[in-house]
Structure 1
Amino acid sequence: MLGVSLYDTKLNEIISGRKPFSAAHVLKNTNYPNQSPYLSQIPCSWGALFFPEIWREFHDYQSARLTSAFGPSRHKIIVPSSRSNHWPKSWKRFFIELAYLRGYVMLYPNYENSTSFTTNYAEKGVHFHFTGKKKDLWLLPLMKEDTLLEGLPDGHLPNFNDLPTIDLWGKVVSPKNLIQRGRKFHSRISSCPPIGLDNLTYNPQDLLCVKHRKKKNRTLITKVKNPTEKPIVENNTTLPIDNKIQTPLIEKE
């Protein structure tokens, strides 16, 4: 688990077009209580506690992605069907990549009416320029009375293994499924094998291995006036037979 969110959410910003989201609605017709706290792969950026070992791993991961000689495009890490791929200036993009690759999740509150411990006033800034009723999508009611336990199923926080897990696209899945997805994606984008969960060192190095293509030997061939004469090749470079030949060199794979 990567941390604990203090903020519930009414939007799924990963799906194209920003779709309304309600964990209570998602959990209907499942074996989980509608108001159960839940685990989500989306890291919260509007009030959250991040565990130190995960934050260090994320910091190293993002630094490696941004300081690469070729920039973020070097590793070709594109999370399937995620709007976060188009957030070039957002740290959240890289955290979503890490969470997807590792199968990490964050604990979210799920009280009635999306009551939360933090809220977002959607003030104008780099990423926000909303006015009027659109702000209500981010503005959540704060818990002003002590209903911390009363609002939980059976008056207490369920055991970790009994919590529902919701993926990036708002679907209930098993934790095992998340891990399998991440390992499969890992095998596609990194030349290093995935590390087993029991051997995690919170070092992102295994996620960022890049295969270096071997350069093909190239031979420079000179056109000659007499087609019966063969060019002279020395140390992988063709030497002209006649110094008077002015025809250009042709590069051949």
Structure 2
Amino acid sequence: HWPHGEKIVRHRVQQGGLIAAVTESWYPGSFDEYGILLEDDIEVSPFFFVWCRYALMTYKYGAAADSHPGLFGVSLYTPRRNELVHGKPRWNSNWYFWEKAKSWTTPYVQPLPCSWGAMYFPAAWMSFHRYLQYRMANPSVKVEIKGSLSNSWSASWKKFFMEMSHSYHMYMLYPNFHNQTSFSTNHLGSGEHIKTAGGDADHLPIDYTVPLVASEEEWASLFKQLPGGRLPHLDDLVGMDLLGEFQGIHEFTKHFSSGGLQQQEYKAGKEKVLAAVGVSNIIQKSAKGGTSTQNLHTKQTAVEPQQTRLRKKRIVVKKRIVSSPKRP
């Protein structure tokens, strides 16, 4: 039951697998439509929508200096494990950014798409559709991210999204409040990757089930944790790469503008939008921390709104339900 307005149910008559189920769940209808993707074992905070709107108002509909087409989404969840590094080590985001940036609770950016509750931006999702279409049509093409366990994944849409985000220096915004308090949490339902409901030896609740922002008092307290009492300006954001190496925001923005996405402004009606057009290839990187590609040639078009005031927009919540073993 969804009492919060119009809903559209897409019923898949045959199980399509994780890649198809996620990527085909949302086709953006405009550049002011944003998709919130939720797995069926994800619980959200009562304030998840407020967090999404606040981030949008800051980084998409706020000051032009705080907006950048490399930002592809906003996570609701703060991870406690790095699943791309051998051994999947635990990590504490608060300690990490205190050591690296002298801030316990600064939000951060990373090229990692979150599958445990996140809002995705329309242009990035359109680009992902085109990228995935090419990869599916050309299975002989090999794209590897040096040192990442995702190179061996076969049934994950995130593998392909990370190829795109890593190669183009795109990034997602992650919350980083005390004790990884988040706007979504993972209850470890059984399925493709977790064989036992509630977790297994490789998926312990302490590592994946994080506390939720549950009350108005908690929501208000978050602003005391944010640097300066607000989401940081774009230039003040910090982050890390897929393997957990610290990076400033400029490591993403400076490479994004010269890494294959050519930017140009044009007018659509009375609005200005920034278009990233003519993605002709993924640049061959050196073996040192780069992306290895063979005969990879794609052509994509992505458009991001760069409005200085909030216009009519639509946020679509997509709760993905796939066939999986029934829980006890």
TM-score (norm 2): 0.55
Displacement of 1:202 in angstroms is 5.4
- Worse overlay, 83-92 or 132-141: 132-141
* Residue 91 of structure 1: aligned partner: 157
Instruction: Specify the code of the residue in structure 2 equivalent to 1:177.
Output: E
Q: Paired residue for 1:210?
A: 295
Instruction: Map 1:120-159 to 2 at 5 A.
Output: 120-129=186-195, 130-131=199-200, 134-145=204-215, 146=219, 147-159=221-233
Aligned match of 1:168: 242
1:81 aligns with 2:147: yes
CA contact (8 A) 1:60 1:204 kept: no
Q: Distance in 2 between matches of 1:20 and 1:209?
A: 34
Q: Which residue of 1 aligns with 2:90?
A: 20
Task: Report deviation, 1:28.
Answer: 2.3
For structure 2, the 5+ residue unaligned runs are 1-70, 265-274, 283-292, 298-328
* Structure 1 residue ranges without an equivalent (≥5): 184-192, 213-253
Question: Offset at 1:67?
Answer: 2.2
Q: Assess if the C-alpha contact under 8 Å between 2:93 and 2:180 holds in 1.
A: no
Residues 36/176 of structure 1: CA separation in 2 closer, same or farther (3 Å cut)? closer
Q: What corresponds to 1:236 in structure 2?
A: none
What is the SS of the residue equivalent to 1:97? helix
Q: CA RMSD in A?
A: 2.7
| Aligned equivalent of 1:9 | 79
Give the total of aligned pairs. Answer: 199
Structure 1 residue identity aligned to 2:132: Q
Cα distance between partner residues in 2 of 1:203 and 1:115: 40
Counterpart-to-counterpart distance in 2, 1:211 and 1:157: 37
Q: 1:40 to 1:32 in 2, by over 3 A?
A: farther
Deviation at 1:154, TM superposition (A): 3.0
The equivalences for 1:55-66 within 5 A come to 55-66=125-136
Partners of 1:75 and 1:179 lie apart in 2 by: 27
Deviation at 1:102, TM superposition (A): 0.5
Match of 2:48 in 1: none
CA contact (8 A) 1:26 1:172 kept: no
Q: What TM-score results when the alignment is normalised by the length of structure 1?
A: 0.70
Q: Distance in 1 between matches of 2:213 and 2:130?
A: 35
How far apart are residue 131 of structure 1 and its match?
Answer: 3.1
Give the Cα separation in 1 of the matches to 2:90 and 2:241: 15
198, 217, 223: which one aligns with 2:263: 198
**In the alignment, is the contact (CA less than 8 A) between 2:74 and 2:118 conserved in 1?**
yes
Residue 172 of structure 1: how far off its partner (Å): 1.1
Instruction: Give the number of the structure whose alpha-carbon radius of gyration is greater.
Output: 1
Aligned to 2:167: 101
Q: CA deviation at 1:182?
A: 7.9
- Of structures 1 and 2, the one scoring higher in RCO (CA 8 A, sep 6+) is 2
